[in-house]
Chain A
Amino acid sequence: MSRRRVWLWRAALALLAVVLSSVLGARGVPVPSSLLLVVVLAVGLAAGPLPGALLGLAGGWLVDLTPPGTDLLGISALTHAGAGWVSGRATRVSGWPLWWPAAVAAAGWAVVAVVPVLRALTTGAPLDLVGLLVDLVLTASVALVAVPAVIAVDRRLSGRRPR
């Protein structure tokens, strides 16, 4: 029962992040390109590589399918699963410094961004380097604030002892 409740909370949070990214982006509000990434990283840090990868996969499918979707179906699912797995591997048993979520977010952002960047480079499309840098900073900043909060709620719901 507890496990179902935890996954319901994670799924609801992922859906909220995906819809917010799309709706706020359409209104010109500066948000990270993937708010979902922050949620996935938090769950990976809280619960480990497999739950992080599973939420990344499921949430990435939401990104792929939420209109207008991605031009390649499944690409967000795979990259977010990779980011969730990476964040799960970044868990530290003895706790972590305050800046750790931002560093993990930067690593997760790189995992998600590498495929589109490579696709753009191979087709000769111009790269918006400033835009990429702004997105990285936004993602790391939001992660710095939101990841500890998500981890706290996730651990409380799953009955794990806070570190």
Chain B
Amino acid sequence: MLRRVVLALLALTVLVLLADLAGGPTGPIRSAGSAALGPLLRAASPGEVEAESAELIRLRARVAELEGQAQTAKRESALVASAAEHDLEVAPARVVGVGTPDPRGTVRLTIDVGAEDGIQADRAVLDGDGLVGRVVSVGRWTSDVELLGAAGTSVGVRVGQSPGVLGRLSASDPLLDQAPGQLAVTALQEGRITAGDAVRTLGSAGGVPYPAGLPVGSVAEVADAPGRLTASATVEPSADLAAVDVVGVVVSDGQR
């Protein structure tokens, strides 16, 4: 009996996996998971420090909490300044869950804002240092964010001094010798890319998902590939993607 149940469930799981691989309509399954388990993550995320009987423990906890709040306020200030600089309206959020890290590191996060907070899918997510990723699905209370290093991520960018070389930012390029955490940029036109060049978003139609001019990173090393017509290079992201905490979801582009 148990063997039949396991085999049936395995077959069902393989079917769902194949459907997801083929780009089938698996969104409702993810939405159901988000609706059922998202509130659990929100509830389990750290809140107020409870009063302890021992005064010393209470005070130490208070100091730690205040230090954390100061750090959070600092990050929020940087985020607000960055959003104001690019004339964007952002909804602040905190990371409340991380996906199972794969060999490239963490590529998916959950933040504590959702449809109830006016968040929509396919919006850019940034922190005080630069672009972090984009919202890929929105639950009622939480949203999932795909980080820049995720497989299949592709962002149009400009590299270097204005106007900059047009390029395509991706998670990896087989011709590059990338360190973990680094991204890859491939120029789409002839032009010179040098180490240290700033990489900024090219901008999408209507600013969705990516508004123009957001800092993405800087060129770390340019590949020495004589056979290629256009240059490619490794990119060090501006945001520390391994330690994202306070982020902002772009809810409106001020230019519209």
Q: Does chain A have a CB within 8 A of B10?
A: yes
Q: Which of A38-46, A96-104, A117-125 contacts B (4 or more CB under 8 A)?
A: A117-125
For window 32-70 of A, CB contacts with B under 8 Å fall at 33-34, 50-51, 53-54, 57-58, 61-70
Q: With the chains together, A124 CA to B100 CA distance in Å? A: 20
Summed over the interface, the residue pairs from A and B with CB atoms below 8 Å come to a total of: 162
Q: Does chain A have a CB within 8 A of B150?
A: yes
The answer to whether A68 and B144 have CB atoms under 8 Å apart is yes
Residues of B within 8 A of A72 (CB): 17, 20-21
Q: With the chains together, A50 CA to B10 CA distance in Å? A: 12
The answer to whether A54 and B5 have CB atoms under 8 Å apart is yes
B171 to chain A, nearest CB (A): 6
Q: With the chains together, A126 CA to B105 CA distance in Å? A: 10
Q: Does chain A have a CB within 8 A of B58?
A: no
The number of residues on chain A lying at the interface, defined by a beta carbon within 8 Å of a beta carbon of chain B, is 49
The number of residues on chain B lying at the interface, defined by a beta carbon within 8 Å of a beta carbon of chain A, is 60
Closest to B26 in A: A73
For window 100-132 of B, CB contacts with A under 8 Å fall at 100-110
Q: With the chains together, A53 CA to B29 CA distance in Å? A: 22
Given contacts A27-B46, A57-B13, A126-B182, contact A69 B103 (CB under 8 A): no
The answer to whether B179 and A126 have CB atoms under 8 Å apart is yes
Q: Does chain B have a CB within 8 A of A148?
A: no
Given contacts A19-B40, A66-B33, contact A25 B98 (CB under 8 A): yes
Q: With the chains together, A119 CA to B21 CA distance in Å? A: 13
Instruction: List 6 contacting pairs A-B, 8 Å CB cutoff, sorted by A.
Output: A57-B6, A57-B13, A68-B109, A125-B104, A127-B180, A131-B103
Pick the 9 closest A-B CB pairs, nearest first. Answer: A65-B33, A124-B174, A74-B17, A68-B108, A67-B110, A68-B144, A128-B180, A22-B97, A116-B102
Mark B residues whose CB is within 8 Å of A: 2-3, 5-6, 9-10, 13-14, 16-17, 19-21, 26, 29-30, 32-34, 36-38, 40-41, 44-46, 95-110, 139, 142, 144-146, 150-151, 171-174, 178-182, 243
Taking A50-B2, A71-B108, A72-B20 as known contacts, 13 extra A-B pairs with beta carbons closer than 8 A to each other, sorted by chain A number, are A19-B41, A54-B5, A61-B13, A62-B37, A68-B110, A74-B16, A75-B17, A76-B100, A81-B10, A81-B13, A126-B104, A126-B172, A126-B178
